[in-house]
Structure 1
């Protein structure tokens, strides 16, 4: 039986890789088009864009692995059925339960790996995405530090840079004008050197001058280091991903403790989603076998089509359930788990029919 299990795993491996790659590429198409626009129009580095896409991969894989496993198993067992290999295995006394053992193993491994992505890699990838987004913003022409340049595309700030140190790459003799709503005269901050750090311009040895309504200097001071934040500007151009999606279950539970009852609903929905989606992998793996065996006339195109329809229905039901849960029409548990309940019931129903035939 070990030889048969190894053979099934060998035949399934490449098909699963194909399935996961296909669905991952579909998810990435829109992002790639958007990134190409950023490269051509905004002059972003191809390397930085590639890195950003790579940090998105764990988030995408957590959704595409169940789909890819399902499609890959359907393709494999469809081929085995058409080549009469399933019939040959049945004649040797290999039952459906024995055929399903390595497939269930694949589903379990896939489930564990998705949990690993969600609980470990995705939170880290989210942080990396934030960091690289800042880097890409700093390299935007609006933020580039150059000799004798005036940066005035940043809301209430204007920055004048006299020169750039060729060795340290720091700006020298920097003037920052901060518009004051209470006065028509801006607050002036003069720094000997400056450089970007996170979402702020950090000035060394900085003097500041605040003016009153008549234009007279009313307040002055000196700082060894002066941080000029640009948080409000950067919030509009951060990575477009909900913070909640970048959290693991432990972080979500911690957030729930600090929120009001009205605010915790999205976190409860997300926790259920992070458990339900990985748990669908085992049912989809088994269903891939059950839908493929027993009909030797079914072609690859038919199996592929059935697979796409099943996945499409699962995604639609999941999204509808989450929307209803967010609006408090149904409970978060029912909204998120209903597709899994339907999936497992259908899998058990199909198994009860196939086990008598195979």
Structure 2
């Protein structure tokens, strides 16, 4: 690696972490001023708990959220300074092409991308779980109901379905249970019960006041009774469907949940798919944002660094706005999450290529 590469890479990473270190304390100070009265309402809430459960995870979440903005501003700022100090002119006079000039930038972008991928896929989900639970308990004073579910329809296999009017997750007990088995569109068996109880010890289900009817060509076979123990291909946790849990699952767990939910006929999983694709699209945007920032900053303008920053920050606001829009649209039932999540990267990727071609000239 040449001296110039080390110099630019050091500037790249140093400026990036410097911007993060500057922005995060400011955001924390604003958040404290807004939340201090809510913290004081809870006598059982200690400073240690606020720091460890809330602000440690707040820093992880907010740092991951502003990472693209911090990266773009830092690269644009120090590249504009290089141009302002005529260092880029000197590099050009040394017969170093613009493409070769980009090499240390992309090495830096690769380091940031790997860091962001690790955060998005593994660290942030665990952090979000603790942060959300704390916020719901002490700040928003609300909790997501994970103790019971109502009106559940679940597909166990291609031909088997269950329906439960209500199920208590703490007691593993449900009411108005129905199981149906089909061959094509023809109903072959129906099993219903007033009460269903999951026995965790042996992973079986107990049906109280059941009625079983099997439809056969020779004649229907009917059976009923007060109690029956049987096995079904689902667990109580499979009945729970809360969209906000997508942010709290590590990627392997999220992939497993999506695959299992698809096989069991879950309706709209787009919110989970948006979260899954976003965890990769945002880190990889580091390359696009780096290229845009360099091509903008490498041009020495009459207005100096201020003009470059104004253009860059405006572009970033458009990018962040598009991210929020596609995240909302991607969760709708008829949307294509994969396309929508990557759409901002496509648009800004095309812009980056256009700026790069012009910068080479």
TM-score, normalised to structure 2's length? 0.64
Aligned partners of 2:270 and 2:335 also within 8 Å: no
Please say if 1:347 is aligned against 2:352: yes
Deviations 1:155-204 (A, max 9, x none): xxxxxxxxxxxxxxxxxxxxxxxxxxxxxxxxxxxxxxxxxxxxxxxxxx
Cα distance, 1:62 vs structure 2: 2.3
Q: Which residue of 1 aligns with 2:343?
A: 338
Q: Which residue of 2 aligns with 1:253?
A: 255
Q: Which residue of 2 aligns with 1:328?
A: 333
Aligned partners of 2:39 and 2:138 also within 8 Å: no
Q: What CA distance in whole angstroms lies between the structure 2 residues aligned with 1:350 and 1:327?
A: 34
Please say if 1:32 is aligned against 2:32: yes
Q: 1:31 to 1:271 in 2, by over 3 A?
A: same
Aligned partners of 2:128 and 2:248 also within 8 Å: yes
Q: 1:28 to 1:329 in 2, by over 3 A?
A: farther
Aligned partners of 1:71 and 1:304 also within 8 Å: yes
The alignment of Structure 1 onto Structure 2 pairs a total of residues equal to: 254
Aligned partners of 1:23 and 1:67 also within 8 Å: no
The secondary structure found in structure 1 opposite 2:102 is helix
Q: 1:242 to 1:30 in 2, by over 3 A?
A: farther
Q: Which residue of 2 aligns with 1:80?
A: 82
Q: What is the 5 A alignment of 1:50-129?
A: 50-51=51-52, 52-129=54-131
TM-score, normalised to structure 1's length? 0.64
Cα distance, 1:282 vs structure 2: 1.0
Aligned partners of 2:13 and 2:108 also within 8 Å: no
Q: Which residue of 1 aligns with 2:273?
A: 268
Cα distance, 1:40 vs structure 2: 3.3
Aligned partners of 1:15 and 1:73 also within 8 Å: yes
For structure 2, the residue ranges without an aligned partner over 5 or more in a row are: 140-242
Q: What CA distance in whole angstroms lies between the structure 1 residues aligned with 2:345 and 2:256?
A: 26
For structure 1, the residue ranges without an aligned partner over 5 or more in a row are: 138-240
How large is the RMSD of aligned CA atoms in angstroms?
Answer: 2.7
The secondary structure found in structure 2 opposite 1:242 is helix
Aligned partners of 1:84 and 1:296 also within 8 Å: no
